Amino acid sequence: MLYAILCYDHEDVVWSWSKEKEAAVTADLGAVQTRLAEAGRLGPVARLLPTTAATTVRKSREQLVIDGPFAETKEQLLGFYVVDCTDLEQAIETAKELARANEGEGSYEIRPLALYKPAPGPFQ
């Protein structure tokens, strides 16, 4: 079974880390990632830019584009894509394409990635 592990924390605190703190955390997490990779258990790893960089596309209401992150609490995170786009405009078009293929009440939140590490190899 593949599992997604989603990371939650106060972004204001995390994005104010000093360079030393940042380096220490990156090193500690890197050690765990290396162990997972060696065991053939690691898929892609991504870090998102802060929510201030987010844009949301509503599936309903003529695919309204809203600045900021997805803010409703009555819906749940169901999945995600990582897509290579030339710019935000193309990312929005891609989200709208997905919305047309799967009409409903939900939203697609578009978050640029701060970091992306592809899977080191196939799962074992």
Catalog residues that contact other proteins under the rule CB under 8 A. 10, 12-13, 15-16, 21, 49-53, 55, 65-68, 87-89, 112-115
As to burial, measured by CB atoms within 10 angstroms (0-12 exposed, 13-18 middle, 19+ buried), residue 18 is exposed
Q: How far apart are CA 55 and CA 70, in angstroms?
A: 8
Q: How far is the CB of 41 from other proteins (least distance, A)?
A: 27
User: Which residue lies nearer to other proteins by CB, 33 or 51?
Assistant: 51
- Tell me which DSSP letter residue 50 carries: P
Q: How far is the CB of 31 from other proteins (least distance, A)?
A: 17
Q: How far is the CB of 48 from other proteins (least distance, A)?
A: 10
User: Which residue lies nearer to other proteins by CB, 43 or 50?
Assistant: 50
User: Which residue lies nearer to other proteins by CB, 30 or 40?
Assistant: 30
**Inter-CA distances, 40 with 8, 37, 44, 103, Å:** 25, 5, 12, 37
To which residue do tokens 């939140």 refer? 109
User: Which residue lies nearer to other proteins by CB, 39 or 113?
Assistant: 113
Q: How far is the CB of 28 from other proteins (least distance, A)?
A: 11
Q: How far apart are CA 72 and CA 108, in angstroms?
A: 12
